[in-house]
Amino acid sequence: MSLRTKFILFAVVIHLLLAIMAYFLLKENVYLFLGMEVLIIGSIFITSQLYTTFFKPLSLIRAGIQSIKDKDFSTKFMGVGQKELDELINVYNRMIDQLRHERVAQAEKHYFLEKLIHASPAGILLLGFDNQVEHVNPAAELYLQKPTGSLIGKHISQLPKVWAEQLTQLQTGSSITFRVNGIRTYRCHRAHFLDRGFQHYFVLIEELTDAILKNERQAYEKVIRMMSHEVNNSAGAVNSILGSLQYYAPQLTLDHREDFDNALQVAIDRNTNLSRFMANFANVVRIPQPKKVKTDLHEMLRNMSLLMQPEFQRRNIACNLQLSPQPLTILLDQQQLEQVLLNVLKNAMEAIGENGEITINTQLSPAQLTITDTGSGIPESVQASLFTPFFSTKEYGQGIGLTMVREILVNHGFPFTLESDQEMGVTRFSVSFPG
């Protein structure tokens, strides 16, 4: 039973008793009856005043509580001329003003934070308490190469392979740096924040690829120039001396002349190979900026396949061209991209060895080239270092082929990936052509 109902019942009972008393006084004394009637009327008036005084504030409080429940912070009450009630109204109005101010400020901060996260060049993954992905900003979506819809609600262990491996072991307050497909380098930092009393986590993703490539380039350019200068100067002087020694060959006896000529030739050939070795490194440093012209990529691929066909046939390797029906015209430096294709196809051929298949595939939307081989695959321990300068898995490799590929494609602005599944024995090299 509500307080209002109890008050009304109490007032009704009291006034019924007064009415009964007035009825008995009517038989005994008319004047006392009239006095009792006046008393009853006065009591009713006072009771109604008390009812209004007591329950009007409660009505206001109830209306105010309902407004707060409905998150309506614009409703305010006017004073009614009663001191106690006006004090209550003033307190409520001040509280509503404060709540409205806090709500507007919170909404503005929330809106600003959303815009900041959306526009941030750093990738941001917001995680729930159980490490479920709750929000992904556009930069993180780009880094993970997955649409937001396919990431929301997933546990971080269900993210793309390398990301899942690295982020699962990342502890709060710590950072980790790793490479994806041996090309893109990322640094991730995990931290937490409080929201409405609950702890939430987020992962901040920063791409370091451009900075690392720039530092690497500056380092190996300096090393190569210094090595090239020293080796070429020494090799040139030694070759000159060896050439001069050849004039003394006729002065030797026939028994010693053959050995002398052979020794000189071996030394000259070794110096020549050393100079060629250094020239290959210097070529990486001297790669010019691409001179882009509109080029039919399909025609270029057919020509490269024709160029490599004798070696493919010798190794019994099938080269399948799966080109899109429509022409694919790309703005590029044909000579440089041919060098890229030559390196990639040569690596694919060497990975297969003999009796395998290379598939060259193109698509128009989005414009992309994919070269797939059925070799032995690339071990995961090697994939992270593939595009590192001077790194090679070949016994006599110089480690400049894929470095040159990387430099040319980066200069062109063509994103590329290298993926390999050693269990299935498949390696896939893809190049995208934006714009």
> Read out DSSP for 190-228?
EEEEEETTEEEEEEEEEE-HHHHHHHHHHHHHHHHHHHH
Phi, psi dihedral angles at 425 (to 5 degrees): 70, 40
Give the pLDDT of residue 370. Answer: 92
Give the pLDDT of residue 190. Answer: 92
Give the pLDDT of residue 200. Answer: 80
Q: Which amino acid makes up residue 91?
A: V
In the chain, where the domains are located: 3-107, 120-207, 212-285, 293-432
C-alpha 388/C-alpha 231 separation (Å) is 23
Do the strands 356-363 and 317-322 form a parallel or antiparallel pair, or are they unpaired? parallel
Long-range contact set of residues 360-366: C-beta below 8 Å, sequence gap at least 24: 360/301, 360/305, 360/319, 360/320, 360/321, 360/322, 360/323, 361/322, 361/323, 362/297, 362/298, 362/301, 362/322, 362/323, 362/324, 362/328, 363/324, 364/324, 364/326, 364/328, 366/432, 366/433, 366/434
Q: Which CATH architecture has domain 293-432?
A: 2-Layer Sandwich (3.30)
- How far, rounded to the nearest angstrom, does the alpha carbon of residue 247 sit from its chain's CA centroid? 68
Do the strands 123-127 and 198-207 form a parallel or antiparallel pair, or are they unpaired? antiparallel
Sheet harboring 356-363: ordered strands across? 317-322, 356-363, 368-373, 426-432, 416-421
Q: Please, are residues 362 and 369 in contact by the beta-carbon 8 Å criterion? A: yes
Domains 120-207 and 293-432 share a fold: no
Give the pLDDT of residue 2. Answer: 67
**Helix orientation angle between 30-69 and 3-28, rounded to the nearest 10 degrees:** 170
The CATH number of 120-207, from 2.120.10.70, 3.30.450.20, 3.30.420.40, 1.10.290.10, is 3.30.450.20
Low-confidence ranges of the chain (pLDDT < 70): 1-4, 26-27, 53-58, 60-61, 64, 68, 70, 73-74, 77, 79-82, 84-85, 182, 196-197, 216, 219-221, 224, 227, 229-233, 236, 243-259, 273, 276-286, 380-401, 435
Q: Please, are residues 75 and 99 in contact by the beta-carbon 8 Å criterion? A: no
Provide CB contacts within 8 A for 301, sequence distance 6+: 321, 323, 341, 360, 362, 369
Nearest to residue 282, comparing CAs of 350, 203, 222?
A: 222
Q: Chain-wide mean pLDDT for the chain?
A: 78
C-alpha 83/C-alpha 77 separation (Å) is 14
